[in-house]
Amino acid sequence: MQRYLIRRLLLMIPTLLGVTFVVFILVRSVPGDVVDLISGDYGSMDPAAKAALKKDLGLDQNIPKQYVEWLGKIVRFDFGESILSSRSVNSELSNRIPITIELGVLAIIISLLIALPIGVISAVRQDSPADYLGRSFAIGLLAAPSFWIAIMLITLASRYFLWGVPPNKYPNFTADPIANLKFMFVPSFLLGAALAGGVMRFARSSMLEVLRQDYIRTAWSKGLRERVIVVRHGMRNGLIPVITVVGLQLPILVGGSVIIEQIYNIPGMGRYYIAAINQHDYPVIEAINIIIAFVVVFSNLAVDLLYGVIDPRIRYS
Does residue 222 or residue 72 have the better pLDDT?
72
Q: What is the pTM of this model?
A: 0.80
Distances (CA, A) of 308 to 1, 12, 35, 243, 255: 9, 20, 52, 12, 29
pLDDT at 316: 62
Q: Per-residue pLDDT averaged across 121-130, rounded?
A: 84
Other Cβ atoms less than 10 A from the Cβ of 187: the count is 25
Q: Is the CB of residue 122 less than 8 Å from the CB of residue 202?
A: no
d(CA 220, CA 162) in angstroms, rounded, equals: 51
d(CA 123, CA 111) in angstroms, rounded, equals: 18
Which residues is 88 bridged to in the sheet? 81
Question: Phi and psi at residue 161, in whole multiples of 5°?
Answer: -150, 170
Mean pLDDT estimate for the chain: 80
pLDDT-wise least confident of 68-77, 211-220, 245-254, 278-287:
245-254
For the segment 78-99, what is each residue's pLDDT rounded down to a tens digit?
Answer: 888 887 777 888 888 888 888 8
Q: Per-residue pLDDT averaged across 140-154, rounded?
A: 75
Q: Output the CA angle 60-65-66, nearest 5 degrees.
A: 60
d(CA 170, CA 305) in angstroms, rounded, equals: 36
Answer whether residue 251 shows pLDDT above 80: no
User: How is the chain split into domains, by residue range?
Assistant: 98-310
For the segment 14-69, what is each residue's pLDDT rounded down to a tens digit?
Answer: 888 888 888 888 887 777 666 666 665 545 566 776 677 677 767 777 788 888 88
Fold of 98-310: MetI-like fold (1.10.3720)
Residue 298 confidence class, pLDDT cut points 50, 70, 90: confident
Q: Per-residue pLDDT averaged across 233-258, rounded?
A: 74
Q: Which residues are CB-neighbours of 311 under 8 A, at least 6 positions away? A: 236, 237, 240
d(CA 190, CA 146) in angstroms, rounded, equals: 6
Residue 237 confidence class, pLDDT cut points 50, 70, 90: confident
Q: Which residues are CB-neighbours of 241 under 8 A, at least 6 positions away? A: 202, 206
- Three-state SS string over the chain comes to CHHHHHHHHHHHHHHHHHHHHHHHHHHHHCCCCHHHHHHCCCCCCCHHHHHHHHHHHCCCCCHHHHHHHHHHHHHCCCCCECCCCCCEHHHHHHHHHHHHHHHHHHHHHHHHHHHHHHHHHHHHCCCCHHHHHHHHHHHHHHHCCHHHHHHHHHHHHHHHCCCCCCCCCCCCCCCCHHHHHHHHHHHHHHHHHHHHHHHHHHHHHHHHHHHCCHHHHHHHHCCCCHHHHHHHHHHHHHCHHHHHHHHHHHHHHHHHHHHHHHHCCCCCHHHHHHHHHHCCCHHHHHHHHHHHHHHHHHHHHHHHHHHHHHCCCCCCC
For the segment 182-235, what is each residue's pLDDT rounded down to a tens digit?
Answer: 888 888 888 888 888 888 888 888 888 888 888 888 888 877 787 788 877 777
pLDDT at 45: 61
Which residues is 81 bridged to in the sheet? 88
d(CA 165, CA 77) in angstroms, rounded, equals: 38
What is the per-residue burial (b if ≥16 Cβ within 10 Å, else e) of 143-164?
A: eeebbebbeebbeeeeeeeeee
For the segment 158-168, what is each residue's pLDDT rounded down to a tens digit?
Answer: 676 666 666 67
277, 295, 276, 254: which is closest to 81 by C-alpha? 276
